[in-house]
């Protein structure tokens, strides 16, 4: 059986994406939230209990940030920033009581204190930066 000669050819295919795939997740996304907690002594929990919702494990120690006054600004903070459970001590007893829970953002350089009473971060407005 005799074989016939077939000339070699090169065939290429062009890749055309037909779906959007988010590979970087929230890298360029920011949360928009209002610094609206009433004034008082601001505390935060440096440790994490696995979720940020203004409620924390009673065995953890809170860290005092200072006297807090809301700036009432709508902040934009990267979703990769760290947010903390915390509380504003309205009655000055040094512990978290019912209704005092807040979410704390330490600012862009982690040296400040901003607090919101909106404890459900899933409802916060987001935007691409």
118 found inside a domain: yes
Residue 51's pLDDT is 87
In a domain, 78, yes or no: yes
Within-domain flag for 128: no
Q: Which pLDDT does position 97 carry in this prediction?
A: 92
Number of domains in the chain: 1
Instruction: Assess if residue 14 is contained within a domain.
Output: no
Q: What backbone phi and psi angles, to 5 degrees, belong to 20? A: -90, 125
With a cut of 50, list the residues of the chain below it in pLDDT. Answer: 18-25
pLDDT at position 16 is 53
Say what the pTM is.
0.75
Any domain includes 57: yes
Q: Are the C-beta atoms of residues 41 and 92 closer than 8 Å to each other?
A: yes
The domain of 103 spans: 29-122
């Amino acid at each position: 059986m005799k074989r016939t000669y077939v000339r070699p050819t090169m065939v290429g295919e062009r890749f055309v994406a037909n779906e959007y795939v988010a590979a970087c997740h929230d890298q360029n996304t920011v949360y928009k939230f209002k610094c609206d907690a009433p004034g008082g002594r601001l505390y935060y929990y440096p440790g994490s209990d696995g979720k940020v919702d203004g409620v924390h494990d009673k065995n953890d120690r809170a860290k005092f940030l200072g006297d807090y006054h809301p700036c009432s600004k709508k902040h934009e903070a990267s979703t990769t920033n760290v947010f903390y459970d915390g509380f504003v001590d309205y009655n000055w007893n040094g512990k978290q009581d019912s209704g005092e829970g807040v979410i704390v953002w330490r600012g862009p350089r982690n040296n400040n204190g901003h607090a919101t009473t909106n404890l459900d971060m899933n409802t916060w407005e987001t935007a691409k930066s």
